[in-house]
A = this chain, B = another copy of it.
Amino acid sequence: MGMTDLRNTSDQRLVKGARARAAIARHATDVASVEGLTGLSLGRLAGDLGLSKSGVATLFGTKENLQLAAVQSAREVFIEHVVRPALTEPAGMPRLQALVDNWFDYISEPVLPGGCFRVATAAEFDSRVGPVHDALRDDRDEWFALLEKEIAKAQADGHLDGHDAHALAFELDALVATANTGARMGDDSAIPTARSIVDRLLGPST
């Protein structure tokens, strides 16, 4: 008896708080997609979720930690809606096409009320220094690496002749990001325009 040989009990010891943290961070992504990461406030989040301000403060310690948690939560939302569904497609051209399709869906019928979290927050923090800037930069790098990897695979299969993988990834990101902002600014042609350019880029190559 007493065979309490569980090693990583630390994971279970935190489940309660971790769940609360995740719920708060998830709502923080919603708010930050509209108001920005700087627009986040502990009192606002606590009020929205029926918690006390000090309770939220205890869970995250500092506002910067809350912002970092929101960035991670937004990363998970993006993976869940854009990346993961595309992993059922074979690597290379089909998966790249699925990534782009899912991404357009993601900004057309926004999961977050403010549209694409990455687009909103990158512009907000691109001129600042500190952990939040760094986390957003890492997130951007990760996304570009994934795009480039699929492009390279597609090229190894004979697609996308004459394209530089890095440049094509940059161009795809630019078009979708600007479509996101344009659409939210009231330009109904932004998403269709970007869509058609992307189709031309990925479509009848050579």
Q: Which residues of A contact B (CB under 8 A)?
A: 33-36, 38-39, 113-115, 119-120, 122-124, 126-128, 133, 136-137, 140, 166-167, 170-171, 173-175, 177-179, 181-182, 184-187, 189-190, 193-194, 196-197
Contacts and interface: CB of A to CB of B under 8 A. Distances in A.
A173 B193 CA distance: 12
A123 B183 CA distance: 11
Q: Which of A35, A167, A178, A194 has the most CB of B within 10 A?
A: A178
A127 B114 contact: yes
**How many identical chains are in the complex?**
2
A194 B172 CA distance: 11
Nearest to A112: B127
Contact of A123 (B113, B123, B127): B123
A171 B175 CA distance: 7
Given A36-B36, A115-B127, A127-B113, A197 B182 contact: no
A185 B140 CA distance: 9
Given A38-B36, A186-B137, A122 B174 contact: no
Contacts of A119: 123
B127 A124 contact: no
Contact of A185 (B120, B122, B181): B122
Contacts of A166: 189, 193
